[in-house]
Amino acid sequence: MQASSGKKFATLCVLWAASCAAIALNLGSVQGSPWLGRPLDIRIPAQFSAQDDPQASCITAEVLYGDTLLDAGKVFTRNVPVGLVGNARHVVCVKTSVAVDEPVVSIQLRVGCKEAATKQYVLLAETPPTMTAKTAPKIRVQQLSNRTDTRTRPTASARLTRAP
């Protein structure tokens, strides 16, 4: 009986030590969205352990557009100290020099030198807004008639045409 509880205690200690190492470096949720036709530009909050030097944080990212792995030379990562945002004191920026050409973007981010954390992110790329207030076509409203009937409110018919 005592040998069994000693094994349980040892197992518990090992699991506790592993969990402490796991929470020493934490990666948050993605900030930003991938846009079809534009290079990837996202940010991920990170909290580093006391043993890791955030300036030499050994950040690597593998980026896939659909099933296509991007060449490592086209993926750029950077650690930016931001003070305190939630629990994070740093933001890991992941950028690419290649435009997103697939609706599914997968990122495997590895952060940390001595204690490393790896997290997989799967994102859906969005279609960029095609019309903004500046690019929307100007529309001219041309009044065709205006009839007044004593039984109903005045009504107006209009034809929408594109302004020159």
SS (H, E, C) the chain: CHHHHHHHHHHHHHHHHHHHHHHCCEECCCECCCEECCEEEEEEEEECCCCCCHHHCCCEEEEEECCEECCHHHEEEEEEEEEEECCEEEEEEEEEEEEECCCEEEEEEEECCCCCEEEEEEEECECCCCCCCCCCCCEEEEEEEEECCCCCCCEEEEEEEECC
What average pLDDT does the chain have?
74
Q: How far apart are CA 24 and CA 157, in angstroms?
A: 68
Quick: pLDDT tens for 49-100: 655 555 556 889 999 999 999 999 999 999 887 776 555 578 899 999 999 9
Q: pTM of the prediction?
A: 0.61
Percent of the chain with pLDDT strictly greater than 70: 55
- CATH code that applies to domain 25-124: 2.60.40.10
Quick: pLDDT tens for 23-54: 447 888 999 999 999 999 999 988 766 555 55
Confidence of residue 5 (pLDDT cuts 50, 70, 90): low
pLDDT at position 23 is 42
Closest of 50, 101, 109 to residue 78, by C-alpha: 109
Domain ranges of the chain: 25-124
For 18-30, b where at least 16 C-beta lie within 10 A, e where not — what string? Answer: eeeeeebbbbbeb
Map tokens 């594109």 to a residue.
Answer: 162
pLDDT at position 26 is 80
pLDDT at position 140 is 56
Quick: pLDDT tens for 100-156: 999 999 999 988 777 778 899 999 999 887 745 565 555 555 555 555 555 545 445
